[in-house]
Amino acid sequence: MAPAADREGYWGPTTSTLDWCEENYSVTWYIAEFWNTVSNLIMIIPPMFGAIQSVRDGLEKRYIASYLALTVVGMGSWCFHMTLKYEMQLLDELPMIYSCCIFVYCMFECFKIKNSINYHLLFTLVLFSLIVTTVYLKVKEPIFHQVMYGMLVFTLVLRSIYIVTWVYPWLRGLGYTSLGIFLLGFLFWNVDNIFCDSLRNFRKKVPPIIGITTQFHAWWHILTGLGSYLHILFSLYTRTLYLRYRPKVKFLFGIWPVILFEPLRKH
């Protein structure tokens, strides 16, 4: 976490319960944590295009919701790191819970008939979200949020491992790439927290272009944003395989992964 002595800027005093290691208002007077803010673009723009493509392809609404939920997380995180206000912090952290619940629903409904609805699972996840929201608004303890989020991620990991081990082993590459990138982001998140004083001292001694590379919370955004996006692709690939489509992962401009598929032709 960041030391207490940070300058103020356009948004005034910090009211959030968390203040990360990036020096506040060091790039511009209008954005508290510049690199932690702009790094959220990876969670905003690609999932928006994913949602649009999902609508065009006539996919089930839960996959459209998955893409949009990731976009909402990115927008909330943008607002939080730009302002370091408590209300904006909630716009970041609570959608993290809600989006993961959508991901969990998708993963556990991969092998059901098309457009089916599991009301029991839906009710459980909505209830979980309401309980987490209520408790977190009351206790305002970031560790509580982190533990609840970790539980959901762990559930997704277990389900993914089950699918690539017992159902579709040929999806290990996509599944484990998503998981590995996410875990690397989590490692950087911890480095940013634990070694903040050392990182700040290092940044004072090196050119800014090198210092930027040590903004590990920004790397957390980039890697978990990519990992979450790949998880949606993995979930969607699993689902469309079960529905007897022909999914393929393609790379736009040779860089960005997207999923394309076509239904089996009826004879």
Domain ranges of the chain: 34-262
Which two three-digit tokens encode residue 82? 């730009």
Tell me what the mean pLDDT of segment 98-102 comes to: 98
221 annotated as ligand-binding: yes
To the question of whether residue 24 is assigned a binding role by annotation, the answer is: yes
109 annotated binding-site participant: no
Tell whether the model's pLDDT for residue 189 goes beyond 70.
yes
**Would you say residue 264 has pLDDT above 90?**
no
Mean pLDDT of 103-115: 96
Residue 217 annotated as lining a ligand binding site: yes
* 78 annotated as belonging to a binding site for a ligand: no
Band of residue 260 on the pLDDT scale cut at 50, 70, 90: confident
Contact 204, 226 (CB under 8 A): no
pLDDT score recorded for residue 180: 96
Residue 60 tokens read as 């089930």
22 is in an annotated binding site: yes
60 in a known ligand binding site: no
pLDDT of 5 strictly over 50: no
pLDDT at 82: 98
- How far separated are the first and last CA of the chain, in Å rounded? 62
- How far apart are alpha carbons 139 and 133 in whole angstroms? 10
Least confident of 17-31, 33-47, 110-124, 253-267: 253-267
| Mean pLDDT, residues 221-230 taken together | 98
Q: 9 falls in which pLDDT band (50, 70, 90)? A: confident
Question: Taking 50 as the threshold, does the pLDDT of residue 4 lie above it?
Answer: no
Q: Is the pLDDT of residue 100 over 50?
A: yes
Contact 20, 33 (CB under 8 A): yes
Q: How confident is the model at residue 83 (pLDDT cuts 50, 70, 90)?
A: very high
Checking if the pLDDT of 132 tops 50, the result is: yes
Residues in the chain: 267
Rounded-to-integer distance, Cα 148 and Cα 132, Å:
7
| Contact status, residue 20 vs residue 2, Cβ threshold 8 Å | yes
The pTM assigned to this predicted structure is 0.93
Compute the average pLDDT of residues 181-186.
97
Q: What is the CATH number of domain 34-262?
A: 1.20.1070
pLDDT at 1 over 70: no
Q: Residue 81 annotated as binding? A: yes
